[in-house]
Amino acid sequence: MEYIPGLAGIPVTESKISCIDGQKGILSYRGYDIQELAEFSSFEETTLLLLFGDLPTAEELARFDEQLRENRRVKYNIREIMKNLPPTTHPMHMLQVVVASLASFYPSTEYMKGGTENEGYINDVTVKIIAHMGTLVAMWEHMRNGYDPIEPRKDLTYAENFLYMVTGEEPDANWARLLDAILILHAEHTINASTFTTMVTGSTLANPCSVISSAIASLSGPLHGGANQKVIEMLEEIGAPENARAYIEERLANKKVIWGMGHREYKTKDPRATILQKLSSALLKEKSEELSTIFQTALEVEKICEELLGHKGVYPNVDFYSGILYKEMGFDVGIFTPIFAVARSAGWMAHWREQLQDNKIFRPTQVYKGSGSLCYLPVEKRGDGA
């Protein structure tokens, strides 16, 4: 049997969580178009939808929101663990360490089993992990610079609290609304490498904190997360709007990547980019006088790429817009991928729960291409390799 590199096109599960229609440019969560969710829902509600399959009632949403707010605080031992990491630690590496440690601070009494035996623990730990993700990323932004972290607040939404904890300032309502939409748009995207890692690790019935930590490891790889960071680096290289055309033309002529353009899954425009462009344009008009050079450069790159690449079906993707919006919110590029992880924790946990429902441990096979039977020679009888 031949093997397919990267298992491209090979189904590895039956799933009810999300669906991509790459031809039409539609991404839906549990049947709901993400354009509607980004416009009308919240990250809290979308998370509930992903986890349980239905839009919640007002009461269910209020209870879940309350639980998320109550679970933002982080134990001081966890803060001590963070203090013992070098200040140069990449936020994704910090996150993997600390989320793994949650398995110790919030252990299950039983190992994970399918069925409903552990339902209480499973629900509690789901809230704990998702609530902690934002707090941990925000804490590290202060701690890696030598400052005490800012305590989370209970009176703010998930997105507001994250903005507050990172910037230390009362969150701007417009930015909070945009960040909320970005979290919704990044919460789930079918079976990519980190979600697949979640499934494989989860299939051994490992603790969910261990599972999500391994998904974070997967997302930390530059082939998976990290594209929006590349967008900013590219924009900084361009420097100003008037340099954009020459830069893009040169890269196209030399067949170099233009970061933030096109997406393997979508033949048409990335639907997440469409909604981000729409949501941000109103805000941008209002703030047009304060926009940074880098943002103005991005708008120019967008215009030129639509002109030069649009006929090939290559348009800006979600990384293009999220990258420039994060930058404009004042976030360091180092936390772009961690914010992706914060949002995606909702999808990972949904897939973990789905995996447990009808679990079989992953145990694929290989095409053996190695030596046939060899005879062991004691070291003194081997060549000297000289």
Least Å from the CB of residue 155 to a second copy:
20
For a second copy, give the closer residue by CB, 155 or 380.
380
Q: Is residue 263 flagged as an active site residue?
A: yes
For a second copy, give the closer residue by CB, 21 or 306.
21
Check if the beta carbon of residue 201 is closer than 8 Å to that of residue 193: no
Least Å from the CB of residue 51 to a second copy:
14
Least Å from the CB of residue 11 to a second copy:
4
Q: How far apart are the first and last CA of the chain?
A: 40
**Which one is catalytic: 319, 351, 358, 384?**
319
For a second copy, give the closer residue by CB, 14 or 169.
14
Residues 271, 275: Cα–Cα separation, whole Å = 6
SS3 string, 114-169, reads CCCCCHHHHHHHHHHHHHHHHHHHHHHHHHCCCCCCCCCCCCCCHHHHHHHHHHCC
For a second copy, give the closer residue by CB, 180 or 300.
180
**Which one is catalytic: 180, 263, 270, 351?**
263
Total length of the chain:
386
| CA 178-28-54 angle, 5° bins | 95
Residues 216, 221: Cα–Cα separation, whole Å = 9
Least Å from the CB of residue 252 to a second copy:
24
Residues 186, 158: Cα–Cα separation, whole Å = 14
For a second copy, give the closer residue by CB, 23 or 366.
366
Residues 43, 343: Cα–Cα separation, whole Å = 8
Least Å from the CB of residue 267 to a second copy:
16
Name 27's Cβ contacts closer than 8 Å, sequence gap at least 6.
18, 19, 20, 21, 33, 34, 189, 271, 272
The token duo for 159 is 């997105």
For a second copy, give the closer residue by CB, 29 or 175.
29
CA dihedral 5, 10, 15, 18 (to 10 degrees): 70
Least Å from the CB of residue 162 to a second copy:
22
Q: Which residues are designated catalytic? A: 263, 319
